[in-house]
A and B are shown apart, each in its own frame.
Chain A
Amino acid sequence: MNINFEAFVEWDNSPFILFNNSGKIIYLNNAAEILFGYVSKQELYDIALSYAPQNFGYRTTSLTLTYDSFLFYAITVGYENENEISIRLYNTPRIKPTRKLETDKFITTDINILLEANIALFKTKNSNPLKLLTDQDLPAFKMDQNNFSKLLRKTLNAFRASDSIDISLKLLIGQHVIIENKKEPIVQLAIKANGRYSDTDGEIELVAAQSQIKSLLKERSITLEIPLIQ
């Protein structure tokens, strides 16, 4: 039997990288390519060296690694000669939403309109300067308009006393999320400022989860990864 396994590695959802002995990348799969948007080559090479088995072979170590929205629960590091070393990172399974998305009830919506309306609402209460960088060409997509508006209101409200608020809305090229067995592109809404309130973080996470939106809440920013369902 002679099967070429390379395609399997290429399309594996977990990142796989092969380094040479000076830390240069010889091969990386699709998932790893995306990961490198958030972590440096050197950092992963150092991890590979630190967790490499003492002799030729493979070793799997359980550990928690977090790079932005990427979460890993284990790595396997292996080498069969002195020239190459490989590392594979295992994705932490995403918690399955308990509430099924009723996508048939969703309404196709221009996200820019909802965002602008929420900014207008925000401005009735706050006079903080606000910068908006958006992609007007984003296609309209399906969403629960009310729930999503609520999420936007709560998210913006976390920045009610912040200065220099930066809002950006864009399509995440090359990244997808699986919703009801369908691969959907991701739209990213990122809001950054010099600081923010975190009193309603729990609510934001809850409302986001109801629409299968991934929320990343950090000290000075909130990022929402919204599935672009068409």
Chain B
Amino acid sequence: MESFFTTSDKIQHIIKSFNLTKTLFVSSIIIGDPHTGKKSLARYLFPHAPLVSGLNQDAVKKALEESDELIITDFEKLSNQNNFDFSNKRIIATANYVGNSSVIDDLFAFIYTMPTLLERPDDVQYLKKRFIKEALSTLMIDAQNIEEKNIPLNLSMNSKSLKKSIYLHLTKHSMDNADIENVIYQHIFKYLDGNDGYREYLGLYEKPLIKAGLKKYGSQLQLSKILGINRNTLRKKIHEYNID
């Protein structure tokens, strides 16, 4: 059975409540932002229940006729919610938002709210470790070159953005010159047109070069020496690219 990791008090209470009502015929709904683990939680609690998505109206209808225990994801996508009869069935629904609150209130005995990852710092650390491990193995990167604490964590879209920020960071930090050249090649191949292409796409190389150089060496004088170009040329370029 897949496990569900959390240290959040709120989710512990949700799990407790579900465990108590597991054998009862009550309908429950977990409402929360996308990618907060609603579906994983439902799956973890009811590993054998059939699962249908609210995106498929007919499948939900059919599943309701066939089974007494059912997980319905994306409940907010269903259009005829108030026609459902959940009596004497064990329904576990998940939804990204409430939608029609009086219908939800009428249909479901248990209405849970899933906290976002921002409210669950411990869970973020756990997921971060898991995603890094997964990414390292997928991208076949040597773990030793990675400083975990330097990875910026984006929680704006919960686990989705968290995962993306980890994959992006690890991808960026594992590229060699050939990879970078390849990325630029693909990009230019796709977008190059117009009549000022040379100047436009040179920036793709010059801008990060100067930004990184300034950050690393502090002064323009120092950097112009490192780059081997005239200080005035450097100043002109800084102005041209609006670099502070």
**Contacts from A to B (Cβ < 8 Å):** 105, 107, 109, 113-114, 116-118, 120-121, 123-125, 144-150, 153
Contacts and interface: CB of A to CB of B under 8 A. Distances in A.
Nearest to B114: A124
A12 to B, nearest CB: 39
Interface stretch (B9-17, B215-223, B230-238): B9-17
Contacts of B21: 113-114, 117, 149
B240 to A, nearest CB: 55
B20 A125 contact: no
B26 A145 contact: yes
A124 B6 CA distance: 14
Contact of B87 (A105, A118, A120, A125): A105
B25 interface: yes
Contact of B13 (A114, A121, A144, A153): A121
B26 A149 contact: yes
Interface residues of B, number: 21
B86 interface: yes
19 contacts: A113-B21, A117-B16, A117-B17, A117-B20, A118-B110, A120-B13, A121-B111, A121-B112, A124-B10, A124-B112, A144-B87, A145-B25, A145-B88, A145-B109, A146-B25, A146-B87, A147-B109, A149-B110, A153-B111
Contacts of A145: 24-26, 88, 109
Interface string B29-60: 00000000000000000000000000000000
A175 B13 CA distance: 35
B10 A107 contact: no
B41 to A, nearest CB: 13
Nearest to A127: B9
A146 B86 contact: yes
B27 A146 contact: yes
A117 B16 CA distance: 7
Interface string B85-129: 011100000000000000000001111110000000000000000
